[in-house]
Amino acid sequence: MPDPGVVRAFAPPGTGRHAVVAWARRHARRTGARIEVLVDPDLDPEAPPARATGTRAGPIALVGGLLEHVWALFGAPPSLAERLGRASAGARMLVVPQSLPEVDVLVDTAYEPVTVVPTDPPHPQGAVVLALAHRTTDETIEAAFDAAERRGVPVHVLRIRDPDRWTRVGTEDEDGRVDEERRDCADRLSAWRVTHPSVPLEVRVGDGDPTVELIGSTCDARLLVVGRSARGRVLGAVAPSPVARTVRSARCPVLVVPPPGPPRRSWWPRA
């Protein structure tokens, strides 16, 4: 049996603490994973060990101490989002409260999937909503089907249109394109329908602003599963990702699945 791994939850005192721990415990129980609650945000696995400061430390330790003081003066310390992103390394999932400052930055830079949990309890009978866009990765789709199967609920696919591929036209043409989008979804999801035959599937094609569609889908959902945005910082500054805005306003927990490989902090969109 593969190791189910560990789920790490950051639950600082204040709004949302109970919801984060409760959601992480339920997820760990379903998957058999171990759970770790992060009570100290000052985590950095890459930090060097503390240097000796006694009289026998010698000149090397003295130089090291001076360099640390220079870094403290001129180098900006890592933010909470950066420290939590590093703390996610090696975990199967990091669970954080929606009230966390810079939660949108965290989901865009963490090493592993991040679930953002709102203060209000999730809808216990809702479906798992999968936001399916042109660039959605296989890992994101698998996460949605796996979550639905473990909970015994359907997957509701929200097809997010690529504005570069589709433009609004006449009603007759529009209906034809919606049907084409549904067929594309069926083809894209055919493998997961075979591997998860017990999961009912429903597809809806979004016809409005992606952020509004995503937030609206969380009103009666149990979980929203989205892929991390592939746009770089240049495009992100001009047109912010719907994911970044959705995690701050969603009514249910949002699972953000990164693409394979380490975090990519490029200025340019992913190819």
Q: Which helix (H) or strand (E) holds 86?
A: helix 80-87
pLDDT value, residue 135: 84
Residue 100 pLDDT = 92
Burial 16-37 (b: 16+ CB within 10 A, else e): bbebbbbbbeebbeebebebbe
The residues pairing with 37 across neighbouring beta strands, listed in sequence order, are 9
Q: What is the pLDDT of residue 160?
A: 80
What are the extents of the domains in the chain? Answer: 6-46+76-257
Q: In terms of CATH architecture, what is 6-46+76-257?
A: 3-Layer(aba) Sandwich (3.40)
The list of the chain residues with pLDDT below 50 reads 43-71, 166, 169-170, 232-235, 237-238, 267-271
116 and 103 Cβ atoms separated by less than 8 Å? yes
For 27-56, the pLDDT digits (tens) are 999 999 999 998 765 544 444 444 444 444
Tell which residue, 142, 135, 154, 89, has the closest CA to residue 255: 142
pLDDT of residue 45: 44
Q: What angle do CA 262, 266, 271 make, to 5 degrees?
A: 85
Map tokens 């479906």 to a residue. Answer: 127
- Kindly report, residue by residue over 200-218, the tens digit of the pLDDT: 999 988 878 889 999 999 9
pLDDT at 174: 62
- Rounded to 10°, the helix 242-249/210-217 angle is 30
**Per the structure block, which two tokens stand in for 210?**
């992606």
| β-sheet with 93-97: strand ranges across | 34-38, 6-10, 93-97, 114-117, 254-257, 221-227, 127-132, 155-159, 201-205
Rounded CA gap, 155 and 223, in Å?
10
Give the start-end residues of each E strand in the chain.
6-10, 34-38, 93-97, 114-117, 127-132, 155-159, 201-205, 221-227, 254-257
